[in-house]
Amino acid sequence: MVALVSPLARAENTEDLQRFKQTRRCINCNLKKANLVDAPLTGAFVRDTNLKEANLEGADLRFAIFRKVNLKNANLTNADLTGAIFKDVNLDDAILTGARLPIGFGERPNPTRDVQMPSQLQRPERP
């Protein structure tokens, strides 16, 4: 008996993929290995979603919000992520070649630079 397995087998949930393309919202979705090449996903909201090994090459993800998303080994080559927000996102081994990244992407917050007390609210020195 010989079992044939297609090397191009898909792992994504087809319903999740179609809904994401139509609504640009994906909560608790399985989009592993999904094909989203050149997808127009401006302002997408993605939470608790698996996009491991997904192909997002050239995707328009401007101002998208990613929260608790697995993008491990995802292809983001030439994707536009301008203004995107990432919170608890796994980008291990993701391909970001040519991607337009948000300002400050990859930087750690600097409390002395990012949070400053306005001068009018500072307490006056005591004599």
Decide if 46 is inside a domain. Answer: yes
Decide if 126 is inside a domain. Answer: no
* Domain encompassing residue 53: 14-102
Question: pLDDT by residue for the chain (127 residues), tens digit each?
Answer: 444 444 444 567 899 999 999 999 999 999 999 999 999 999 999 999 999 999 999 999 999 999 999 999 999 999 999 999 999 999 999 999 999 998 888 776 655 554 444 454 445 555 5
Task: Provide the pLDDT for residue 104.
Answer: 81
Decide if 125 is inside a domain. Answer: no
The DSSP-derived string for 9-59 is ---S-HHHHHHHHHHSEEES-B-TT-B-TT-B-TT-EEEEEE-TT-B-TT-
Q: Are strands 85-90 and 65-70 parallel, antiparallel or unpaired?
A: parallel
Amino acid at 78: N
**What whole-number distance in Å separates Cα of residue 44 and Cα of residue 74?**
17
Task: Provide the pLDDT for residue 111.
Answer: 55
Decide if 54 is inside a domain. Answer: yes
**What whole-number distance in Å separates Cα of residue 61 and Cα of residue 122?**
40
**What whole-number distance in Å separates Cα of residue 7 and Cα of residue 28?**
26
Nearest to 94 by CA among 104, 112, 106, 103: 106
Decide if 77 is inside a domain. Answer: yes
CATH code of the domain in which 25 resides: 2.160.20.80
Decide if 34 is inside a domain. Answer: yes
| CA gyration radius, the chain | 20
**In the chain, how many domains are there?**
1
Task: Provide the pLDDT for residue 3.
Answer: 43
Task: Provide the pLDDT for residue 2.
Answer: 43
Decide if 108 is inside a domain. Answer: no
Task: Provide the pLDDT for residue 10.
Answer: 53
Task: Provide the pLDDT for residue 1.
Answer: 43
Decide if 123 is inside a domain. Answer: no
